[in-house]
Structure 1
Amino acid sequence: MSKRENSKYKINRRLGVNLWGRPKSPINKRETRPGQHGAKRTKPTDFGKQLMAKQRIKGYYGNVSERQMRRYYQEAIRRKGDTGENLIGLLERRLDAVIYRMKFAATVFAARQLVSHRHVKVNGRRVNIASYQVRDNDTIELTASAKQLTVVLEATQLAERDVPGYVEVDHKDMKGKFLRTPSLSDVPYPVQMEPSMVVEFYSR
């Protein structure tokens, strides 16, 4: 299990949403933010809205660092097409995100741990970098030892989310393929994500 298994729910409380759509989230019982003044709400400024949009996306992908987010933004600008769509595409190509999408892990934090512990192969080669950018038609597979892990077997049976159409997976062999870069509308976010606001934040 990820060392952030408990602290990740603080992200939900801080942002005021059930970020991953999990039934265990405390936001399901108490929607206010943590702290003495958590129930107080003020109308956010434009900057506040942009910041919140950025924090939601960063948190959803396992609390991606600010340095990494800025790199993704710079790469998204460099590529042709809509910058917000490009940003989501880059985040969805992260190896830990792909492992999460394939339901080899219950959370993106657990997916990151699987990768860092060298339990994941890409095209037959072990990769232990969570931010590794998966390419179209890359084959992702768990190692023989990881295929027997209880947390992995339990994750494949979770009914709270489905495998999206831009990946295919065989849970019997614990093997799958990243088919293509998704558009924003393809990504099964439990809450509304606004990458255009993230772009506005970084372009200030």
Structure 2
Amino acid sequence: MSKRHSAKHKLDRRLGENIWGRPKSPVNKREYGPGQHGQRRKGKMSDFGIQLRAKQKLKGYYGDITEKQFKKTYEEASRLKGDTGQNLIGLLEQRLDMIVYRAKFAPTIWSARQIVNHGHVLVDGEKCNIGSRRIKPGQTVSLSSKAQEMALVMEAQALSERDVPEYVAPDGAAKITFNRVPTLDEVPYPVKMEPNLVVEFYSR
């Protein structure tokens, strides 16, 4: 976890934005980039640079998703009916690890992935340890009795920095129902996400 924790803060500084809205983000203290040239005035970014940055920000927000996984999700979104950008957000928000994070069962997306990987999460009452599993509307996600006593989970539920979104309906302290696939404006991103630029990046 320590290695990923460090990488997370590096991503915040590189992008110059507190993309998870965490109070410990280094961007809260230093808004400029890392390194000896971090405080230099930046030149105008090219269209490709803007698109790449939007892709890195969205992909980084969802934790340890690889480039291959992210592109595969984009390709699936492009095959669905409707707006590809909206479809991409919907598919990413249906991931089990993200729903665990949205339900405030974990303080970060990394710890949500860890809780799932260690077998502490149940989908419709059955144990599931695959963070990328896609949850369908109407399905329930709950914590095992052991997980409910974990300090990490209790810490997450006490966090005041974020709320449980409407498309995740709590049923007590350790169970939620995934109501519907959200649209972009329903997802509580701390910073502006631009999936339309991600679509442009992959459509080149």
Q: Which runs of 5+ in 1 are unaligned?
A: none
Secondary structure of 1:176 counterpart: strand
Q: TM-score, normalised by structure 1?
A: 0.96
2:186 corresponds to which residue?
A: 186
Counterparts of 1:45 and 1:191, CA distance in 2: 21
Note the alpha carbon deviations across 1:16-66, whole angstroms, 9 max, x for none.
100001111010000111111122212110000000000000111114210
Moved over 3 A (4+): none
Q: What is residue 85 of structure 1 aligned with on the other side?
A: 86
Match of 2:128 in 1: 127
CA distance in 2, matches of 1:73, 1:7: 24
Q: Do the aligned residues in 1 keep the contact of 2:171 with 2:177 (CA within 8 Å)?
A: no
Aligned pair count? Answer: 203
Counterparts of 1:63 and 1:37 in 2: how far apart (Å)?
28
Shift in Å at residue 101 of structure 1?
A: 0.4
Is the partner of 2:5 in helix, strand or coil? Answer: coil
Secondary structure of 2:177's aligned partner: strand
Query: Whole-Å Cα distance in 1 between the matches of residues 171 and 108 of structure 2?
Result: 19
1:14 and 1:34 in contact (8 A); partners too: yes
> Is contact 1:2-1:113 (8 Å) kept?
no
User: 1:34 maps to which residue?
Assistant: 34
Which residue is 2:149 aligned to?
Answer: 148
Contact 2:19 2:61 in 1 (8 A): yes
Distance (whole Å) between structure 1 residues aligned to residue 172 and residue 100 of structure 2:
12
Share of identical aligned residues, percent?
Answer: 57
TM-score, normalized by length of structure 2?
A: 0.96
| Distance (Å, rounded) in 1 between the aligned partners of 2:58 and 2:172 | 28
Alignment of 1:86-105 (within 5 A): 86-105=87-106
Give 2:197's aligned residue: 197
> Which residue is 2:9 aligned to?
9
Question: For residue 175 of structure 2, what is the aligned residue in structure 1?
Answer: 175
Alpha-carbon displacement from aligned partner over 1:105-139 (angstroms, at most 9, x marks no partner): 00001101111111111011111111110100110
State the alpha-carbon separation in 1 of the partners of residues 105 and 82 from structure 2: 31
Structure 1 position 165, deviation (Å):
0.5
* RMSD across aligned positions (CA): 1.2
